[in-house]
Amino acid sequence: MANNRIKGITIELNGDTTGLTDALKDVNKESNKVTSELREVERALKFDPGNAELIAQKQQLLAEQIQNTSQKLDVLKEAQSQVEAQFRNGEIGAEQYRAFQRELATTEAQMQRFNAQMASTANEQDRLARTTGELSAFFEATGTDVNQFADLLGTRLTNAIRDGSATTDQMNRALRLMGQHALGAGVDIDQMREALRRAAQGADLSGIRQELARITQEANEAEEAVNGFGQELSGVVAGLAAGGGIAGVVQQALDVSSLNTKIDIAFDVPEESKKTVFDVIKQIEAYGVDGQEALEGVRRQWALNKDASDTTNRSIAEGAAVVAKSYEGIDFIELIQEINEIGASLQISNKEALALTNALLKTGFPPEQLDTIAEYGLQMKQIGFSTAEIQAIFEKGVDLKTWNIDNYLSL
């Protein structure tokens, strides 16, 4: 260990002459203690990643570790000029000198890593709190509860929301699914969530209901004009304004609309592409993907890849559908989004991103952690790892059952 190799180095610190290992003894002891507790928290978070208490504990421990590392850096930097002078004068050997330089470099890298973890954890804590507030506001504004969406969300997600263990990503998925189901397939989810965010921050609930009604009306205006559902939609708006339940009426209107009409309204594609889009949606439905999910996933693929050919987009969308139905717990729409983000992060094509994702899932990579591929992959790409190396690191993470970026980078 580096501490053993720097054992013979003596420095002057605060007017006293002391061994460098003695000067670092207390801070190293405290750092090791915090590291041990951090590992326990990390292990617990693997089983309950949405636990707000565990996230808060991690943030507190990281703050302590940053303080410890800062103190250690202060000692090492104060000793640096003395160690360099001792080496020049022949008072210490080359091995000791190199060991000191490594200790300094390692400690600086640890400080950067802890600061990055602290920022990431604080961000996750904020995201969790914000999304929890939006979810509560959705139920309050629509007069519903999670049990009414159990068939839509599935048992696992419903239970996670019910018992408060849902992660931010799980709640995001639930909000999208419930919003589309309750307010209409073409609803602007971003607008809906902005309204819910204001409700969570204390805005008047009746005003929020009116806002949701407006969003619903705008989303279905075109279909109302084509299909003549004015009566049904006005009933929905009235119900929203009154604070009543909203699920059902709009969905009933939407169910009667043809797929071609939905494509005309929702897709920004040339006329010659619409037949391909129609065929892809029907093919993906044949794979077992829900019709509305197929529609939105295909729409997103074409929207995110406007410059790609219809053939390329079709290949990616159909391939993603096969992957989504091959592994438990994968949402087709989210997979389309992740493939695009992975491709952008690693600077590879959607086809390569899909192949990478499928390869990792085959090795046992957890579907609920797919978002880490783009997030952590970008960080690894930025420090010089190739795509093949990044894939190998993630596969090693599968073996070690860890999805933490710091653990990845230490492999």
Q: What is the pLDDT of residues 110-121, one digit of tens each?
A: 888 888 888 877
Q: How far apart are CA 180 and CA 251, in angstroms?
A: 9
- 331 contacts 325 by C-beta, under 8 angstroms: no
- Is residue 61's pLDDT more than 90? yes
- 159 contacts 167 by C-beta, under 8 angstroms: no
- Is residue 53's pLDDT more than 60? yes
Q: On the CB side of 211, how many CA atoms lie within 13 Å of its CA?
A: 21
Compute, in degrees rounded to 10, the torsion defined by CA atoms 37, 39, 40, 43: 160
**Mean pLDDT computed over every residue of the chain:** 80
Q: How far apart are CA 388 and CA 286, in angstroms?
A: 33
Query: What does the chain come to in residues?
Result: 411
- Is residue 72's pLDDT more than 50? yes
Sheet strands (E) in 152-252: none
Q: What kind of architecture, by CATH, is found in domain 2-137?
A: Orthogonal Bundle (1.10)
CB contact set of 394 (below 8 Å; sequence gap of 6+): 360, 365, 373, 376, 377, 408
> What is the pLDDT confidence band of residue 77, given thresholds at 50, 70 and 90?
very high
Q: How far apart are CA 381 and CA 384, in angstroms?
A: 5
- Is residue 350's pLDDT more than 60? yes
Q: Average pLDDT, stretch 270-275?
A: 87
Percent of the chain at pLDDT exceeding 90: 14
Report if pTM > 0.75.
no
Numbered ranges of CATH 1.10.132 in the chain: 2-137
> What is the pLDDT confidence band of residue 231, given thresholds at 50, 70 and 90?
very low
| pLDDT for residue 36 | 92
| pLDDT for residue 62 | 92
Q: Average pLDDT, stretch 356-377?
A: 81
CB contact set of 122 (below 8 Å; sequence gap of 6+): 59
> What is the pLDDT confidence band of residue 238, given thresholds at 50, 70 and 90?
very low
pLDDT in tens, 295-344: 889 999 998 888 889 999 999 999 999 888 888 778 898 899 888 888 88
| pLDDT for residue 268 | 81
Q: How far apart are CA 273 and CA 267, in angstroms?
A: 10
Phi-psi region of 144 (alpha: psi -120 to 50; beta: other; left: phi over 0): beta
- Angle, helices 310-326/350-362, rounded to nearest 10 degrees: 10
Q: Average pLDDT, stretch 344-370?
A: 85
For 333-399, give the DSSP string.
HHHHHHHHHHHHHHT--HHHHHHHHHHHHHTT--GGGTHHHHHHHHHHHHTT--HHHHHHHHHHHHH
| pLDDT for residue 411 | 45
Angle at the Cα of 162 from the Cα atoms of 159 and 168, rounded to 5 degrees? 85
> What is the pLDDT confidence band of residue 221, given thresholds at 50, 70 and 90?
low
- Is residue 239's pLDDT more than 80? no
- Is residue 257's pLDDT more than 60? no
Quickly tell me which residue has 């397939």 as its tokens: 185
Q: Average pLDDT, stretch 361-378?
A: 79
Give strand pairing partners of 19: 10
